[in-house]
């Protein structure tokens, strides 16, 4: 039996969980943004606060990692997972900000479909993070996230086809394309989170 001479710092798991829960809040703000009569200015401010909270959480993880002598995971994996989680929030916040800045009143239905995928991915990620401590019952998580990302890709391609169908004027096409690309980037970032979790589990199994 190998003895651990230094206590292992398990606070990272709680910090990852907090970051993932923050993504759920952000995804639900995206859903709220799509509702009739939504106060876009207020939602944009709330999303900006979420993005700042995400940055603070990421920086806290990095500071702890720099000081920690016995992290529970490989340092590069902690860094990568924290960065991946932060990337999701950055893209969601950018999409909300663009919708508000561009004054986009009429959004294609496919954008709502994109957001629904992101909301589900956020919920699955928040459910998965606490299980990192035991490294158990995570396989289904990364499989489902991969399926959601494939769904997001199909929605994205359909949206592009709609944008270039002639239904929208050229300036509106450029504005909408910026938004759907940020949402697609967020879906990709969720998959990066899941891939990192899979790598962590494989290394520690």
Residue by residue, DSSP assigns the chain as: -PPPSS----HHHHHHHHHHHHHHHHHHHHHHHTSTT--HHHHHHHHHHHHHHHHHHHHHHHHHHHH-SS-SS-HHHHHHHHHHHHHHHHHHHHHHHHHHHHT-----HHHHHHHHHHHHHHHHHHHHGGGGGTT-S-HHHHHHHHHHHHHHHHHHHHHHHHHTTTSS-HHHHHHHHHHHHHHHHHHHHHHHHHHHHHHHHHHH-
Domain ranges of the chain: 10-204
Q: CA 51, 149, 117, 20 torsion: positive or negative?
A: negative
Asked whether the predicted pLDDT for residue 10 surpasses 90, the reply is: no
Mean pLDDT of 62-66: 91
Mean pLDDT of 6-24: 86
Q: 116-142: per-residue pLDDT in tens? A: 999 999 999 999 999 999 999 999 999
Answer whether 80's CB lies under 8 Å from 189's CB: no
- pTM given for the model: 0.93
Q: Structure tokens of 76? A: 């590069």
Separation of alpha carbons 34 and 153, rounded Å: 20
According to CATH, the superfamily of the domain at 10-204 is Phosphate transport system protein phou homolog 2; domain 2 (1.20.58.220)
Asked whether the predicted pLDDT for residue 190 surpasses 70, the reply is: yes
Burial category of 145 from C-beta neighbours within 10 Å (exposed 0-12, middle 13-18, buried 19 and up): buried
Residues 6+ apart with CB under 8 A from 158: 110
**Per-residue confidence (pLDDT) for residue 180, from 0 to 100:** 98
Q: How far is CA 2 from the centre of its chain?
A: 38
Q: 86-117: per-residue pLDDT in tens? A: 999 999 999 999 999 999 988 999 999 999 99
Q: Nearest CA to 61 among 44, 33, 84? A: 84
Answer whether 84's CB lies under 8 Å from 23's CB: no
Asked whether the predicted pLDDT for residue 68 surpasses 90, the reply is: no
Q: What is the mean pLDDT of the chain?
A: 93
């Amino acid at each position: 039996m190998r003895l651990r001479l230094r206590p292992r710092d398990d606070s990272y798991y709680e910090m990852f969980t907090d970051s993932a829960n923050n993504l759920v809040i952000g995804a639900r703000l995206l859903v709220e943004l799509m509702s009739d009569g939504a106060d876009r200015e207020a939602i944009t401010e709330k999303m900006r606060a979420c993005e700042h909270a995400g940055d603070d959480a990421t920086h806290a993880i990095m500071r702890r990692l720099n000081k920690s002598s016995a992290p529970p995971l490989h340092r590069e994996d902690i860094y990568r997972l924290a960065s991946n989680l932060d990337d999701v929030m950055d893209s969601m916040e950018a999409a909300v900000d663009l919708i508000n800045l561009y004054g986009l009143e009429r959004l294609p239905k496919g954008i709502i479909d994109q957001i629904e995928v992101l909301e589900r991915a956020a919920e699955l990620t928040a459910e998965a993070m606490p299980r990192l401590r035991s490294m158990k019952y995570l396989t289904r998580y990364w499989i489902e996230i991969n399926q959601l990302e494939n769904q997001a890709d199909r929605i994205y391609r359909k949206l592009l086809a709609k944008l270039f169908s002639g239904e929208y004027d050229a300036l509106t096409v450029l504005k909408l394309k910026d938004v759907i690309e940020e949402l697609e980037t967020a879906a990709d970032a969720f998959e990066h989170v899941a891939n990192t979790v899979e790598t962590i589990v494989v290394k520690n199994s």
